[in-house]
Amino acid sequence: MPLARRCLGNELVCTLRMMQPVRAMTIVTLVWLSASVAACAARRLPPSTGEVRSTVDVSASIVPRDPTEAGAVEQAARAAIAGFLHPLTGGPAGRGWSPGEDVWLSDLAPVLERVPGVDHVSEIALRSGDKLFDEHVPIGDDRIPVAGDIRLRLVGG
């Protein structure tokens, strides 16, 4: 069942194109819908009309503990970065990003260091658009960060 949603201030506007009666909606769909409404209301997400996202690209050089596990470490690191930059469930506290909240390198580095199999991270770079940032990516007041390109390089110790 296709579901389109957009958040307008404290209100989640949902459009359902029903292929079957509403009573046939699964409990999972109802729970998801309920959680989406709560997430929008709690954080007052900006409207989704127009572009409200700021894409943050991450490049990192990672040294795995065991070079034979490099593939698994890369996948886990990529998932950790994408999770950290997820608009609703990411962020430093894992509660999503508030509009205008900057992305700090000092918040992302520990996320990568905690990935199973990572010995250490030797380099991290943050980009947004065509600009490279040193310590943090400034996010506009009415925007939220989202993951862009994630480029990982696994190197020997």
Q: How far apart are CA 150 and CA 82, in angstroms?
A: 8
What's the alpha-carbon Rg for the chain, to the nearest Å?
18
Residue type, 81: I
- pLDDT number for residue 8: 41
Share of the chain above pLDDT 70, in %: 67
- pLDDT number for residue 28: 38
| Residue 49 near residue 55 (C-beta atoms within 8 A) | no
- Read off the tokens for 43: 């954080």
Nearest C-alpha neighbor of 45 from the set 107, 84, 100: 100
Q: How far apart are CA 133 and CA 136, in angstroms?
A: 6
pTM (2 d.p.):
0.69
How confident is the prediction for the chain on average, in pLDDT? 79
Residue type, 123: E
Q: How far apart are CA 46 and CA 96, in angstroms?
A: 13
What ranges do the domains of the chain cover?
Answer: 3-43, 53-154
- pLDDT number for residue 20: 40
- pLDDT number for residue 98: 94
| Residue 87 near residue 96 (C-beta atoms within 8 A) | yes
Count CB atoms within 10 A of the CB of residue 80.
19
Helices (H), the chain: 27-43, 70-84, 105-113
Mean pLDDT across 72-83: 98
| Element containing residue 14 per DSSP (H, E) | strand 11-16
- pLDDT number for residue 121: 97
